[in-house]
Structure 1
Amino acid sequence: MKRLVAVGFEGSANKIGVGVVTLDGTILSNPRHTYITPPGQGFLPRETAHHHLRHVLPLFSSALEEAGVTPADVDCLCYTRGPGMGAPLQVSAVVVRVLSQLWKKPIVAVNHCVAHIEMGRVVTGAEDPVVLYVSGGNTQVIAYSEGRYRIFGETIDIAVGNCLDRFARVLTLSNDPSPGYNIEQLAKKGENFIDLPYTVKGMDVSFSGILSYIEATAVEKLKKKECSPADLCYSLQVCTPSPIQSFFLEA
């Protein structure tokens, strides 16, 4: 029986990646490259798209070579249709459309959020999970019911990932390999807990208050040397799980 092979392109934010997988979820290759900006700066759509344009074809060649597949082995081409940043998303979409014309292969447009959930199901083997979806642009509790994914609770302003990214920019932490990772490493050196405000509204949560406090009051504490950047990272890590956990406490 012939194995079904898909080549997927992901470029919704600052990472561009090309993966080759089989129908049963076996990952044959997954090379990727991240657009790293200077500390204190975020990634803008235009510059991010230029980064993806520079790296997508070399990554594509590496993915096929590592997986040991040829165009004849490929059954379909997949790409992230959205949600994500418009300009970076267009890079993958254009490449996939060109390859589809050249190779005469069907295209599968993928929802970014659903893909995260489905990857988690494949890796864990979970059959019908209640999902806590925490990414750069999403903080949601999701479950599958009556043929579709349904949201039971979510952030009403910014996502945890966005909060961490903006917090890292306030402290001018490096984006390499990622803001969240560097926050976690610095948090290990923190000693003083600073109480940060957060809001829970039923099954929904808010993180903008945490970020606003850090951008204003907490930064003043840094100037007065009443706390250290490590203390702020430690406090943020301790504080941000609380509203996430409240999803399940409310449920």
Structure 2
Amino acid sequence: MVFLALGIEGSANKIGVGIVNGDGEILANPRRTHIAPPGSGFLPKETADHHRAHILDLISEALSQAQVTLSNISLICYTKGPGMALPLSVGALVARTLSQLYNIPIIGVNHCVGHIEMGRLVTKAENPTILYVSGGNSQVIAYNESRYRIFGETLDIAVGNCLDRFARIINISNDPAPGYNIEQLAKQGKNLIELPYVVKGMDVSFSGMLTFIESIAKNHSQEDLCFSLQETAFAMLVETAERAMAHCNSNEVLIVGGVGCNLRLQEMVKDMLKDRNGKLHAMDDRYCIDNGAMIAYTGMLQYQHGDRMELIDCTFTQRFRTDEVLVTWRS
């Protein structure tokens, strides 16, 4: 019998369902995105309503793409956290229901570790320094002694959240994503505006830069503002990633998380790696952005290496740090 894992991801504004087989082959990975009006961000209740409206159709779509039925599924996986409580609750509830109805084992997955393992699967990176950049998280990570150790992180808001909030300030559309639209405007920027650059050891801070750029937004073009914000924020991240590489004696970087789709960020990391004779591992939006397959694959790794969960323990939490997870599947 073929081992099949079904994963549900819904920690933020995307709801996705993925199906992966025991060899790590992605058989299906559909998703839907809740898009808020320009000038606003996605709110927990509206996002949860969106997820409830789409999750059953997504499960049917994923099963159809994979050409299987729920009776063929060997493991149900869902995002346990971190994330927004109400959206997380939708995935957790549906996962628990499917587990009980079809008598299928269930596993809760750390969202951040899911991103990392999807990156390792898709890019074949073996032991990279990891730059994890998304709407809710900004961390520099390396594996050591059965944990993904956080070497540095944001002291306040994540880089993706910084970009999203800036998009609201200048009223940029959230369709398909505020960060993507900022990236396109930044390509037309010609003047680099000096912004606060805050790196403290291995950590970064973006809130001061966001406050400052809001105060000067009326005095500059959108293109120059987007260009300057990207260049400054990404330079901070590249600096901390390079410092972690030196500490770990690493020569490769894996970028994961939604902001990892940004081609300018990838280019800046690649330029840094040239001086170190290093290699960049990066992905496109199919796998960088939140998706169900990353949860299915990571849950399968956990299960295959002895992790088990009782239904009573299949809860969700807004706070679930990357380094809390015991990584039993890596030596």
TM-score range for the pair, normalised by the shorter chain length: over 0.9
CA distance in 2 between partners of 1:89 and 1:249 (Å): 33
Contact 2:131 2:241 in 1 (8 A): no
- In structure 2, give the amino acid aligned to 1:152: F
Q: Does 1:159 align with 2:158?
A: yes
SS in 1 for 2:127: coil
Worse-matched range after superposition: 189-198 or 62-71: 189-198
Distance across 1 between alignment mates of 2:39 and 2:15:
22
Q: How big is the shift at 1:188?
A: 1.4
Is the 2:217–2:225 contact (alpha carbons within 8 Å) kept by the matching residues of 1?
A: no
1:243 maps to which of 236, 245, 260: 236
Q: Does 1:148 align with 2:156?
A: no
TM-score (norm 2): 0.72
SS in 1 for 2:115: helix
Q: Give 3-state SS (helix, strand or coil) of 2:176's partner.
A: coil
Query: SS at 2:149's partner residue?
Result: strand
Identity level (%): 63
Instruction: Between the two structures, name the one with larger relative contact order (CA 8 Å, sep ≥ 6).
Output: 2
1:72 shift after superposition = 2.4
Which residue of structure 1 lines up, in the alignment, with residue 88 of structure 2?
Answer: 89
1:127-184 residue CA offsets vs partner (Å, 9 max, x unmatched): 2221111111111111111111111111111110110010111111111111110001
Indicate if the aligned counterparts of 1:12 and 1:85 stay in contact, CA closer than 8 A. yes
Q: Provide Cα deviations, 1:83-104, integer angstroms capped at 9, x if missing partner.
A: 0000000001111111111110
Per the alignment, residue 99 of structure 1 pairs with: 98
* Matching residue within 208, 227, 230 for 1:234: 227
For residues 36-88 of structure 1, the C-alpha deviation after alignment (integer angstroms, 9 at most, x for no partner) is 11100001101110010100001111110111011222100000010000000
Q: Is the 8 A contact 2:78 2:91 kept in 1?
A: yes
Instruction: Provide the residue aligned with 1:69 in structure 2.
Output: 68
Larger Rg, first or second structure (1 or 2): 1
CA contact (8 A) 1:202 1:250 kept: no
- Between the aligned partners of 1:145 and 1:128, the Cα distance in structure 2 is 10
Runs (4+) of structure 1 exceeding 2 A deviation are: 248-251
Match of residue 31 from structure 1: 30
Q: Which residue of 2 aligns with 1:220?
A: 218
User: Any unmatched runs of 5+ in structure 1?
Assistant: 222-226
TM-score scaled by length of structure 1: 0.94
Gaps of 5+ in 2: 245-331
Structure 2 letter corresponding to 1:84: G
